[in-house]
Amino acid sequence: EPISITVGTVSVITGLISYYGLHNYFWGSSRVEGTVNVTALQLDFEKNIFGQHLAKQVIIKAVPRFLSNENPKKPLALSLHGWTGTGKNYISQILVNNIYSEYMRKKCVRTIVATLHFPHASHIQEYKDQLQTLVRSSVSDCERSIFIFDEIDKMHPGLIDAIKPFLDYYDHIDGVSYRKAIFIFLSNAGGEKITELSLKFWRAGRDREEIKLSDVEKDVYLSAFNKKDSGYWHSSLIDKNLIDVFVPFFPMEFRHVKMCVKAELERRGHDADEEITIAIAKDMTYYPSGEKVYSVKGCKTVSTKLDLFL
């Protein structure tokens, strides 16, 4: 009798440890996969993303609402536009990290880089098939799949239209529903228009945070749609209004570059030394040539520059 109690107790304890161990391994202590904690996301954005008031606002409004909707009418499609190094990839990574654990990201998040995955114009039909297969198999496996299409402006025209049926208002296609998926497109197209508007505000001494989405969204999607030889050129995704929001990313000013340097220093466990911060921010190139307001590479080379200064 005493032995059987001991064996029973041990097996219950082992079972509990194993269950909670695995549970925490896969889901973290309080995480529900495929959902997002708005407060945590907001904090993450405030701490890490600088100079992008509209991107933060739009994503925080659109994504949690979409994820909590059990019956969306179509997938969510966000198109992020702006100059290089302004945070389009970075914000997408922070977002997916808030939605899925590392384990689930492998299953549910797909990143497609136009120049890497689809380099040759002559293979476009083959690429279209590959793209459709990728979306179909990922959503069959994980209904809340997230697709990040990087460098959409460098994609061969017409290729992205292969995924049009998946972004549309269909209930099912061949037994698979795509309505809970999220598509995020990243592009430099429209960057000039966003810079133009930002400069206008800067020259007038106005705060760029006064810029509203409606001041810039139309210019951005028209630039993308009309940019010849680029991925969105006359694309039916735009023409048929399948992209829900075009999100502008503003060029990075000196003060934003300083914030990027400080954040990077802190990430590496250093004090945010003002002298080093200014030296690195000054070492970046700024445009336009006269006023030198915006960093040519945004915050993109901050990390490499830091290696040289430390």
Ligand X SMILES: Nc1ncnc2c1ncn2[C@@H]1O[C@H](COP(=O)(O)OP(=O)(O)OP(=O)(O)O)[C@@H](O)[C@H]1O
* 299 interacts with ligand X by CB under 6 A: yes
* 75 interacts with ligand X by CB under 6 A: no
CB of 85 or CB of 190, closer to ligand X:
85
> For residue 289, what is the DSSP state?
T
CB of 188 or CB of 198, closer to ligand X:
188
How far is 262 from 160, CA to CA, in rounded Å?
A: 38
Which distant-in-sequence residues (6+ apart) come within 8 Å of 54 by Cβ? 211, 212, 213, 216, 247, 248, 250
Cis amide bond preceding 119, omega within 30: no
Give one DSSP letter per residue of 71-139, joined into a string: S-SS-EEEEEEESTTSSHHHHHHHHHHHHS-HHHHHHHEEEEEHHHH---GGGHHHHHHHHHHHHHHHH
Range in contact with ligand X (rule: CB under 6 A) among 102-110, 125-133, 270-278, 293-301: 293-301
CA–CA–CA angle 305, 307, 310 (5° rounding): 110
Q: How far is the CB of 252 from ligand X (least distance, A)?
A: 6
Q: Within the chain, what is the greatest distance between any pair of CA atoms?
A: 89
* 251 interacts with ligand X by CB under 6 A: no
> For residue 284, what is the DSSP state?
S
Q: How far is the CB of 147 from ligand X (least distance, A)?
A: 16
User: Residue number with the shortest CB distance to ligand X?
Assistant: 87
Please indicate if the annotation marks 205 as binding a ligand: no
Any idea how long the chain is? 310
Site for ligand X in 151-170 (CB under 6 A): none
Select from 31, 81, 88, 227 the one that contacts ligand X (CB under 6 A). 88
* 79 interacts with ligand X by CB under 6 A: no
* 223 interacts with ligand X by CB under 6 A: no
Which distant-in-sequence residues (6+ apart) come within 8 Å of 209 by Cβ? 53
Match 């829900």 to its residue by tokens: 244
How far is 78 from 100, CA to CA, in rounded Å?
A: 18
Range in contact with ligand X (rule: CB under 6 A) among 15-23, 24-32, 79-87, 283-291: 79-87
* 109 interacts with ligand X by CB under 6 A: no
Select from 194, 298, 305, 306 the one that contacts ligand X (CB under 6 A). 298
* 42 interacts with ligand X by CB under 6 A: no
Please indicate if the annotation marks 83 as binding a ligand: yes
Residue 82's nearest CA partner among 71, 91, 72 is 91
* 300 interacts with ligand X by CB under 6 A: yes
Q: How far is the CB of 17 from ligand X (least distance, A)?
A: 38
Q: How far is the CB of 193 from ligand X (least distance, A)?
A: 15
Q: Output the known binding site for ATP.
A: 82-89
Residues that bind ligand X (CB under 6 A): 48-52, 82, 84-90, 186, 188, 260, 298-300
Q: Output the known binding site.
A: 82-89
